[in-house]
Chains A and B, each alone.
Chain A
Amino acid sequence: MQLPGYYEFCCRVKTISGHSALERIPEALEKLGAKKPMIITDKGVEGAGLIKVLNAAMKGSKVKVGAVYDNVPPDSDIKVVHAVSKIYCDKGCDAIIAVGGGSVIDTAKGTNILVSLGGDDLMRYAGAGAVKHKLKPLIAVPTTSGTGSEMTLVAVIADYERNLKLAFVSYFLLPDIAILDPRMTKTLPPAITAFTAMDAMTHAVEAYTCMAKNPLSDSAALIAIQLISQNVLNVIRNPGDMEGRLALANGSALAGIAFSNSMVGMVHTIGHATGGACHVPHGVCMSIYLPYGLEYNMHRNGNLTAELLYPLAGARVYQATPRRERAEKAVAIIRQLNQDLHDATGKRHARCLKEIFDRDGKQMVAKESLPLIAQKAMGDASQFYNPEDLDFKDFMFVLEAAYEGVPLDRRRVKKG
């Protein structure tokens, strides 16, 4: 294992994982010195009855929930953060329990910044390292497996009025506690299970293959990839498989640790841009672009992609594949996984850009939007961690292939 010349690793999040993890929340709050938490969640989670499960788990303890906000939109919004912060202060809360996916947890992180550091404009704290003080207690209970946001130092919150996506990066944004309880993902529909699992997979794969990798993030990534590849299809076919759900939750958390500490590369660069331009869910973008990212970078980090064949496909396949074919085989396995997920979810899991449809059956990514996506991608910082450079033409090259769903023609990649 290579030791980089320099690296930083920080995972201060205490993880409580298991079949009765939620029941530990009151004790956790007490250790953090909090008694009156605010619950932040969204309508989907509330509708699935998960807040009832949480409340039941906290029954009989000294915890009094100060407020519940259940209207977080699918993309975190600065206006919502301002509104939620006001409620937190008005009700005199002293901690936050975030129950939901990436958007809920990001909203909670943004709220925590405002209520801990004061002021009424979150924008003041945007940037990398702009939040410089410890925040109030935050417990993250993810309900997807997932964005890994319960383990990351990043929050992305959109300001729709100014048409900006604000990024907040600071170790102080890390939640104090992450609760991984399979009851929280038990009723996740198959299509969402599929693309959130691929989101986690992408985090782990990019963390392993991009420039800021370090031994601990590598270790986390390998375990994460294995947990996800071994469990995702089973869980989609048997949604009540609690062991499988727990395994995916852990895989997603480890993937979050991995990428929080070694960042991500071009798959996220293009994925963020696609989400920003066409409002495609993040995980859907990740599943489609992941094989392309690996193909584009293969001349730089093919040796690392080759190693990933082991956690993706197991020791037998790894051993049976000749060394110089392993990287391509790993990419093929990922494409096959997308295909299997496509079949297992009744064709809802998209394999290429033109297959992404919204709830009304409308195609979400038009061919005409590709230049806009490429333009947005130029402004995303994650490209700095990608092993190879990308300019506008390179982004278009990848996007066009991803639109049709054809493998990248690696001979056309401009090598540095």
Chain B
Amino acid sequence: MISHNDYPEIKPKKKLIKQIYVWIIMLVFGRAFQAASRVDKGAKAEFDAMPADFMLDFYVMPNGPHMVVGKDDNGRIKYYGWNPAGKKITLFMGIKHLEAGIKMFTFQESSCTAVARDRLEVDGDLPVACGVLRIMDLLEVMLLPKIVTKLGVKRYPKWSQMSPLRKWASRLLVYVRLTTG
């Protein structure tokens, strides 16, 4: 006869450092979305193609962190913080677990690899989700040194596709707006 006391319930641990890291990266991404939409014409074009009620909740399952980004009444992209409560979310994009989030946000897996490895759950319009992933790739190109981004994105844009002037100008302006809001 086995004793039930020999089999205590296993309580999953928290991964505090990883959670904090992902929280910071998502904060940066959220503000970068907003900044890039004002500053880079490629990002602006992608956002313009999105519906007027675009409100994205990008989060790590099951308990967050969240990043809420959407169009305000004037159609401009705004970062709405990390609390989805009270917002009318039209697109949920969930990263299935914290480790997958770490892989994405330490750029070990690009958004394409993440999709290919089924890391994401999308509740909502898939073409809009595609736009979001393309913008994330664009942000990686703009914000990170080539040596990091090249591992991530499929095709690092050559000079003919994104002029260095645009890349550096966007990079500078996005970083400035990121920090000043």
Find out whether A and B make contact in their complex, taking CB atoms under 8 A apart as touching: yes
Contact of A128 with B133 at beta-carbon distance under 8 Å, contacts A211-B112, A388-B155, A416-B156 already known:
no
Interchain CB contact under 8 A, B121 and A129? yes
Interface centre among A166, A378, A384, by most B CB within 10 Å?
A: A384
When chains A and B are docked, how far (Å) is the Cα of A391 from the Cα of B124?
Answer: 23
List, in ascending order, chain A residues with CB within 8 A of B112's CB. 211, 384-385
**Neighbouring A residues of B111 by C-beta, 8 Å:** 384
Residues of B within 8 A of A (CB): 49, 92, 94, 111-113, 115-118, 120-131, 133, 153-156, 158, 161
A167-B126, A379-B131, A384-B133 known; A128-B155 Cβ under 8 A: no
Question: Across the interface, which residues of A come within 8 angstroms of B154, CB to CB?
Answer: 387-389, 416
Would A384 and B126 count as touching, CB distance under 8 A? no
Among A7, A211, A381, A416, the residue within 8 A (CB) of B129 is A381
A5 to B114, CA, bound (A): 12
- Which A residues from 373 to 402 make CB contacts under 8 A with B? 378-381, 383-385, 387-389, 391
Known contacts A6-B117, A211-B116, A383-B130: A128-B122 contact under CB 8 Å: yes
| CB-contact partner of A379 in B116, B120, B130, B156, under 8 A | B130
- A8 to B: closest C-beta gap in Å: 5
* Complex-state Cα separation, A178 to B59, whole angstroms: 37
Known A-B contacts A211-B113, A212-B116; A126 and B127 likewise in contact (beta carbons under 8 Å)? no
Q: With a CB–CB cut-off of 8 A, which chain A residues contact B126?
A: 126-128, 167, 379, 381
Contacts of A379 in B (CB 8 A): 49, 126-128, 130-131
Chain A: residues with CB nearer than 8 A to chain B? 5-8, 126-130, 164, 166-167, 211-212, 263, 378-381, 383-385, 387-389, 391, 414-416
Assembled-state Cα–Cα distance A385/B153 (Å): 12
**B115 in contact with A164 (CB, 8 Å):** no
A127 with B122, Cβ < 8 A, contacts A379-B127, A385-B115 known = yes
Tell me the dominant secondary structure on chain B's binding face: mixed
Contact among A263, A378, A388, A414 with B116 in the assembled complex (CB-CB below 8 Å): A263
Which residues of chain B have C-beta atoms less than 8 A from A415's C-beta?
Answer: 155
Contact (Cβ within 8 A) A130 B131 = no
* Separation of A350 and B21 alpha carbons in the complex (Å): 54
Q: List 29 A-B contacts (CB under 8 A).
A: A5-B117, A8-B117, A126-B124, A127-B124, A127-B129, A128-B121, A128-B122, A128-B123, A128-B126, A129-B121, A130-B121, A166-B125, A211-B112, A211-B113, A212-B116, A212-B117, A379-B49, A379-B126, A379-B127, A379-B128, A381-B115, A384-B112, A384-B130, A385-B115, A387-B154, A414-B155, A414-B158, A415-B155, A416-B154
3 nearest A-B pairs in the assembled complex, by CB-CB distance: A416-B155, A379-B127, A129-B121
A6-B117, A127-B124 provided; 12 other pairs, C-beta below 8 A?
Answer: A8-B117, A127-B122, A130-B121, A166-B125, A381-B130, A383-B130, A387-B154, A388-B154, A389-B153, A389-B154, A389-B155, A416-B156
Most buried by B among A6, A8, A128: A128
Query: What is the distance, in angstroms, from B68's C-beta to the closest C-beta of chain A?
Result: 17
A127 CA to B57 CA in the complex, in Å?
14
CB distance from A219 to the nearest CB of B (A): 18
Q: Which residue of B lies closest to A212 (CB)?
A: B116
Q: Taking CB as reference atom, which chain B residue is nearest A389? A: B155
State in angstroms the CA–CA spacing of A195 and B131 once bound together: 31
B158 / chain A contacts, CB cutoff of 8 Å: 414
Cβ-defined contact, A384 with B115, below 8 A: yes
Closest to A392 in B: B45
Instruction: With both chains docked as a complex, state the minimum distance between the C-beta of A40 and any C-beta of chain B, in angstroms.
Output: 24
Complex Cα distance, B127 from A383, in Å, reads: 11
Q: How far is the CA of A387 from the CA of B127 in the complex (A)?
A: 19
Question: Are A385 and B125 touching (Cβ within 8 A)?
Answer: no
B contact residues around A378 at 8 Å (CB): 130
| Bound Cα distance from A414 to B160, whole angstroms | 10
Take A128-B120, A129-B121, A414-B158 as given contacts and tell me if A381 and B113 are in contact as well, using a CB distance cutoff of 8 Å.
Answer: no
Q: How far is the CA of A259 from the CA of B28 in the complex (A)?
A: 36
- Of the candidates B125, B155, B161, which one forms a contact with A164 in the assembled complex, judged by CB atoms under 8 Å apart? B125
For residue A160, give the distance in angstroms from its CB to the closest CB of chain B.
16
Complex CA distance for A389 and B152, rounded to whole angstroms: 13
User: How far is the CB of B17 from the nearest CB of chain A, in Å?
Assistant: 23
A212 to B115, CA, bound (A): 9
Docked CA distance A6–B94 (Å): 19
Which of A212, A389, A391 neighbours the largest number of chain B CB atoms within 10 Å of its CB? A389
CB A387 to nearest CB in B, in angstroms, measures 8
A113 to chain B, nearest CB (A): 13
**Bound: A166/B125 CA distance, A:** 7
Given contacts A384-B111, A414-B161, A416-B154, contact A130 B123 (CB under 8 A): yes
